[in-house]
Structure 1
Amino acid sequence: MNSLNHTDLELRPLLDRRSEKLFKILNYNWVIFPITAALSFLGMDTQFTDPSGVVEAVVKPGVLWTSDCTIIAIVLVPFLIAQIPPYFILWGLCLPIRPFSYANSPKQRSFRSLRVCLVTKATNVQTVINTVDLWKPLHQSFRVRFVVVIDSPHNPFIGILPSWVEQLQVPPSFQAKHATHKARVLEWYRQNTDLTDQDWVLHLDEETEIDEYLLNTCLDFIERGSEDVGMGTIYYNAYNHWTHPITTVAEILRIAENFGRYQLPVRFFHQPLLGFMRGSFLLLNGTVENAIGWDTDCLTEDHWFAFYAAKQGFKFGWLNAIAREQPPNSLVDLLRQRRRWYSGELMIDSWALRVVVAFNMLEFVANLILWVPL
Structure 2
Amino acid sequence: GRLGNAVLWKLARTTSHFDNSVSANNQWNRATILQTALMFFGLVAQMPPYVSVLGLCTPMRPGSSAQAPAKRDFRSLRVCLVTKGTNFDTVVRAAGAWVPLQNVPGVRFHVVLDDEGKEVEFRQALPSFVRIVVVPSAFAPSKARYKARALEFYRRNQQLSASDWVLHLDEESMIDAPTSWTRVSTSSRGPTWTSPWYVMSRPLPPPPPNPPLTESSKTKKGLLTVCARPCACVCVCQQGTLHYNDVNHWKNGFLTTAETLRSQEDFGKFSLSVRTRNRPMLGWMHGSWIVVNGAVENAVTWDTGCQAEDSWFAYNSSAKGYRFGWIWNTVHEQSSETFRDFWKQRRRWYTGILSIPSVLVQISLVVGVIGEFAYWVGPVYTHLGGSFVIPTWLYLWGLWHLAVDTHSLLVASFMQDLTAPAGVTWPQTVQHAAGTVVLAPFVRLVQVAALITCIFSPAQGFAIVSK
- TM-score w.r.t. the length of structure 2 is 0.61
Q: Is the 8 A contact 2:104 2:182 kept in 1?
A: no
The alpha-carbon deviation at position 338 of structure 1 amounts to 1.2
SS in 2 for 1:200: strand
Q: Which of 106-115 and 364-373 deviates more?
A: 364-373
- Residue equivalent to 1:56: none
C-alpha spacing 1:271/1:324, structure 2 compared with 1 (3 Å): same
Counterpart mapping for 1:202-281 below 5 A = 202-212=167-177, 213=180, 215-216=182-183, 217=199, 218-220=224-226, 224-225=230-231, 226-281=234-289
SS in 2 for 1:334: helix
Count of aligned pairs between the two proteins:
308
The alpha-carbon deviation at position 220 of structure 1 amounts to 2.8
Distance in 2 separating the partners of 1:279 and 1:228: 16
- Residue equivalent to 1:121: 84
SS in 1 for 2:116: coil
Q: What letter matches 2:327 in structure 1?
A: L
The alpha-carbon deviation at position 111 of structure 1 amounts to 0.3
SS in 1 for 2:139: coil
Q: What letter matches 1:337 in structure 2?
A: Q
C-alpha spacing 1:168/1:75, structure 2 compared with 1 (3 Å): farther
Q: Are 1:159 and 2:124 counterparts?
A: yes
SS in 1 for 2:226: helix
Q: Is the 8 A contact 2:307 2:351 kept in 1?
A: yes
Q: Is the 8 A contact 2:283 2:314 kept in 1?
A: yes
- Residue equivalent to 1:371: 442
- TM-score w.r.t. the length of structure 1 is 0.75
Q: CA offsets, 1:217-239, max 9 Å, x none?
A: 24437863521000000000011
Distance in 1 separating the partners of 2:331 and 2:38: 32
The alpha-carbon deviation at position 158 of structure 1 amounts to 1.6
Q: Is the 8 A contact 2:261 2:440 kept in 1?
A: no
Q: CA offsets, 1:261-301, max 9 Å, x none?
A: 01111111100001111110010000000000000111111
Q: What letter matches 2:339 in structure 1?
A: L
Q: What letter matches 1:304 in structure 2?
A: W
Distance in 2 separating the partners of 1:214 and 1:77: 48
Q: Is the 8 A contact 2:46 2:372 kept in 1?
A: no
- Residue equivalent to 1:333: 341
Q: Is the 8 A contact 2:257 2:440 kept in 1?
A: no
Q: CA offsets, 1:107-128, max 9 Å, x none?
A: 4322000000100111111001
- Residue equivalent to 1:6: none
- Residue equivalent to 2:113: 150
C-alpha spacing 1:246/1:215, structure 2 compared with 1 (3 Å): farther
Q: Are 1:99 and 2:62 counterparts?
A: yes
Larger radius of gyration: 2
C-alpha spacing 1:264/1:354, structure 2 compared with 1 (3 Å): same
Q: Is the 8 A contact 1:221 1:319 kept in 2?
A: no
The alpha-carbon deviation at position 147 of structure 1 amounts to 0.4
Q: CA offsets, 1:13-49, max 9 Å, x none?
A: xxxxxxxxxxxxxxxxxxxxxxxxxxxxxxxxxxxxx
- Residue equivalent to 1:90: 53
1:170 to 131, 135, 147: 135
C-alpha spacing 1:235/1:103, structure 2 compared with 1 (3 Å): farther
The alpha-carbon deviation at position 99 of structure 1 amounts to 3.1
Q: Which of 359-368 and 328-337 deviates more?
A: 359-368
The alpha-carbon deviation at position 79 of structure 1 amounts to 6.0
The alpha-carbon deviation at position 96 of structure 1 amounts to 1.5
Q: What letter matches 2:165 in structure 1?
A: W
Q: Is the 8 A contact 1:88 1:264 kept in 2?
A: yes
Q: What letter matches 2:55 in structure 1?
A: G
SS in 2 for 1:371: helix
Q: Which of 96-105 and 173-182 deviates more?
A: 96-105
Cα RMSD of the aligned pairs, angstroms, is: 2.8
C-alpha spacing 1:319/1:131, structure 2 compared with 1 (3 Å): same
Matched-pair identity in %: 42
- Residue equivalent to 2:315: 307
Q: Are 1:139 and 2:102 counterparts?
A: yes
Q: Which of 269-278 and 359-368 deviates more?
A: 359-368
C-alpha spacing 1:142/1:354, structure 2 compared with 1 (3 Å): same
Q: Which of 131-140 and 81-90 deviates more?
A: 81-90
Distance in 2 separating the partners of 1:77 and 1:103: 45
SS in 1 for 2:245: coil
C-alpha spacing 1:140/1:312, structure 2 compared with 1 (3 Å): same
Q: Is the 8 A contact 1:81 1:359 kept in 2?
A: no
The alpha-carbon deviation at position 366 of structure 1 amounts to 5.8
Q: What letter matches 1:96 in structure 2?
A: P
Q: Is the 8 A contact 1:121 1:151 kept in 2?
A: yes
- Residue equivalent to 1:346: 354
